[in-house]
Chains A and B, each alone.
Chain A
Amino acid sequence: MIIADRKPIDEILDMIKGCNKILVLGCKGCVTVCNVGGSKEVGILASSLKIARKKEGLSVEIDEKTLERQCDPEYTDQIKDIVDNYDAVISMACGVGPQFLSEAYPNQRFLPAVNTTFFGGAVQHGIWAERCAGCGTCIIHYFDGMCPVARCSKSMLNGPCGGSAKGKCEISKDVDCVWDMIVRKKIEQGRLEDLLEVKPAKDWHTARDGGPRKSVREELVQ
């Protein structure tokens, strides 16, 4: 899923300067699962903003709402009757949400309350880690289901660099060296020879490097 982190309150306060009536809009998709932008977090942000404004001696009216998803017109449509009642709408969805909303309601301002970080999952309660870089051409079958494009700091495709030490990446002792994991798994399974052929350079045109992407499934297009 898509992982995000809440922006610092000061940054959000700065965005809403001069706005007196605000809608904080959550999303029940990925950001609810990673505890950053669901209805609970919408309530927390709304309260925090009210308190901060009160401290400054300013009033603000804040409504709260959480959509099923913000990345689908079927659901963004649900605010059509109320969207014009506000000076600004704060979206707590990933970066997709405020963009879909902006396209649907060109007259309104949509502000992001989160920093969208990566595609990943919860490795333990409260900790999420990156697993996919969305490169558009999956090659993890070569590496026993582990992705060096997303998880190696240098996206190396031909083995660990000279900075791999004790299972950790050279950039930080908090980052696992995915190549160490790949090699160990291959050794344990007696299939190290899988890694000994030189892998050619990757074609990045299916990644973001090829420009903004679109996925078309003809059978579904009406």
Chain B
Amino acid sequence: MKAGHFAFTGECGPPKGANIDHLREKIAHLKGMVDAVNITDNQTAVVRMSSWAASTIVIQEGMEPNFQMVCRDRNRLAIQSDILGVYAMGVRNMLCLSGDHQSFGNHPQSKNVYDIDSMQLIALVKKMRDEGKFMNDEEIDGPPRLFIGAASNPFADPFEFRIHRLAMKIKAGADFIQTQCIYNMEKFREFMKMTVDMGLHEQCFILAGITPMKSVGMAQYMAKSVPGMDVPESLIKRLRGAGKGKVGEEGIKFALEQIEEFKEMKGIAGVHLMAIEWEHRVPEIAERAGVLPRPIV
């Protein structure tokens, strides 16, 4: 990104078990297609293989992981020790997140930790990296030199605060931002205009989040049941209009149109493609989006 290349990142969820065959298969679909692979951390609060362990498998497969960490499951002791651990194992990118509340997941009885929030996590990773100190100011023997990422959801409420929250994350130490899945382009253009007006795009790299719609059902579910997701009725209508057996293709077409617009959009440094359980379609999407071959840096 620093060299001015349009970034293209992917995403992979670790397995619900210690069997890593399927994970290796999913990663293989992304190899050479994306610059880095986000490895989710018990996403939707469903227990899976730890994101740090799955990140090391990504490294074994010759790819660059973007290790995700949520604040829901660890206190500051565990957070800091895991950061040191992943860095020692070769992880160089980390995405700092709050995490979905555990009431969504498969262990709703669990205690929710939130010792620190996502903003404080960003600041902590920066402190460990730049000052070489733990949260308590003790010296670190071998600071983790991580490229710090954060999320931004321009579609959550209150909208007026979202741009400020992005600015705070950058101030706290975020080097790059990956946004929530974008479907409402009009609202996103408005958000990016504010971003550029405030000069935030010059202080970090912003990657626009894309998840291709696979079906009308998926679009309706996201519109109704996923908090903070904004799926316009016009998109649902468009998908429905594609007709039986062609909805997936229409979803990909919409994603490709988005990528084309993002390539030209001021302030956007790349795209983060979250093709959920559709990793095998990523090569096709990357090809049709004209982002191949990926630059070697």
CA distance A196 to B124 in the complex (A): 18
Q: Are A201 and B158 in contact (CB under 8 A)?
A: no
**Which listed residue (B164, B172, B180) contacts A192, Cβ 8 A?**
B164
A153 neighbours in B (Cβ, 8 Å): 101, 103, 112
CA distance A196 to B171 in the complex (A): 10
Q: Answer whether residue B214 sits at the interface, using C-beta atoms and an 8 A cutoff.
A: no
Interface residues as binary, B98-131 with A (CB distance below 8 Å gives 1, 0 otherwise):
1111011000000010111111100110000000
Q: Answer whether residue B165 sits at the interface, using C-beta atoms and an 8 A cutoff.
A: yes
**Which listed residue (B101, B103, B120, B164) contacts A200, Cβ 8 A?**
B120
A171 neighbours in B (Cβ, 8 Å): 101, 103-104
Q: Are B157 and A160 in contact (CB under 8 A)?
A: yes
Q: Answer whether residue B227 sits at the interface, using C-beta atoms and an 8 A cutoff.
A: yes
A51 neighbours in B (Cβ, 8 Å): none
A85 neighbours in B (Cβ, 8 Å): none
Q: Answer whether residue A187 sits at the interface, using C-beta atoms and an 8 A cutoff.
A: yes
- Residues 157-178 (chain B) with a chain A CB within 8 angstroms: 157-158, 160-161, 164-165, 167-168, 171-172
**Which listed residue (A159, A167, A169, A202) contacts B168, Cβ 8 A?**
A159
A196 and B157 contact, Cβ closer than 8 Å, known pairs A159-B119, A170-B101? no
Q: Are A161 and B118 in contact (CB under 8 A)?
A: yes
A177 neighbours in B (Cβ, 8 Å): 157
Q: Are A196 and B227 in contact (CB under 8 A)?
A: no
Interface residues as binary, A4-37 with B (CB distance below 8 Å gives 1, 0 otherwise):
0000000000000000000000000000000000
> Would you give the shortest CB distance from B134 to chain A, in whole angstroms?
12
B76 neighbours in A (Cβ, 8 Å): 201
> Would you give the shortest CB distance from A111 to chain B, in whole angstroms?
24
> Would you give the shortest CB distance from A53 to chain B, in whole angstroms?
32
A161 neighbours in B (Cβ, 8 Å): 98, 118, 156
A163 neighbours in B (Cβ, 8 Å): 100-101, 156, 227-228
> Would you give the shortest CB distance from B2 to chain A, in whole angstroms?
25
A180 and B158 contact, Cβ closer than 8 Å, known pairs A158-B168, A170-B227, A198-B171? yes
- Interface size counted on chain B using CB atoms at 8 A: 37
Q: Are A162 and B101 in contact (CB under 8 A)?
A: no
Interface residues as binary, B173-216 with A (CB distance below 8 Å gives 1, 0 otherwise):
00000001000000000000000000000000000000000000
Q: Are A198 and B123 in contact (CB under 8 A)?
A: yes
Q: Are B227 and A164 in contact (CB under 8 A)?
A: yes
Q: Answer whether residue A2 sits at the interface, using C-beta atoms and an 8 A cutoff.
A: no
CA distance A162 to B228 in the complex (A): 6
B227 neighbours in A (Cβ, 8 Å): 163-165, 168-170
Q: Are A154 and B228 in contact (CB under 8 A)?
A: no
Supplied contacts A170-B101, A183-B158, 20 more A-B pairs, CB within 8 Å: A153-B103, A153-B112, A154-B101, A156-B119, A157-B117, A158-B117, A158-B119, A158-B165, A161-B156, A163-B101, A168-B227, A170-B104, A177-B157, A183-B161, A196-B167, A196-B168, A198-B119, A199-B119, A201-B115, A201-B124
B residues with CB within 8 A of A = 71-72, 76, 98-101, 103-104, 112, 114-120, 123-124, 135, 151-153, 156-158, 160-161, 164-165, 167-168, 171-172, 180, 227-228
A residues with CB within 8 A of B = 153-172, 177, 180, 183-184, 187, 192, 195-196, 198-202, 204
What are 24 contact pairs spanning A and B, CB under 8 A?
A154-B112, A155-B114, A156-B98, A156-B118, A158-B117, A158-B120, A159-B164, A159-B168, A161-B156, A163-B156, A164-B158, A165-B227, A167-B157, A170-B100, A180-B158, A183-B158, A192-B161, A195-B164, A196-B164, A196-B167, A196-B168, A198-B120, A198-B172, A199-B119
